[in-house]
Amino acid sequence: MECREAQKLIRDYMYGQLPADKKEDFVSHIRSCRDCYEELDIYYMVEVGLNGLRDDRLNNMDLKNRLEQELEDLETEVQQQRTNTFFRYSLLTLSYLAAGVIFLLQLRIWLLP
Ligand SMILES: [Zn+2]
């Protein structure tokens, strides 16, 4: 993901509207790009600190820790999704294999005398 796209997504992220298929790229870009992290940091300070966004969760954690915690939560979510996808594909592959084996066994019954 490029900086321009990541910075466009910051607003979506802040409002919890980050598209599911962008989450992984977004968080890994934010983690690896200092400029975009700072951009997000500033946006976060303004939106959460000044405008009271998310004030349901306003507690004794300072803003930097909260942003850090949110990014970790997002990483965990992305990781879980990746694991789920892996298992889904594994199951799908296994069921195709099973269907193939069954078909071959059936073929043997049909063809052998
Ligand atoms: Zn960047």
The pLDDT mean for the chain works out to 89
Q: For 105-112, what is the mean pLDDT?
A: 92
**C-beta contacts of 80-85 below 8 A and 24+ residues apart:** 81/20, 81/23, 81/24, 82/24
pLDDT-derived band at 4 (thresholds 50, 70, 90) equals very high
Q: Which of 30-34, 55-59, 72-76, 96-100 has the lowest mean pLDDT?
A: 55-59
pLDDT-derived band at 59 (thresholds 50, 70, 90) equals low
| 59 Cα: distance to centroid of ligand 1 (angstroms) | 30
| 8 Cα: distance to centroid of ligand 1 (angstroms) | 11
| 57 Cα: distance to centroid of ligand 1 (angstroms) | 28
Q: Would you say 13 and 40 are in contact if contact means Cβ atoms under 8 Å apart? A: yes
Q: What is the pLDDT of residue 47?
A: 83
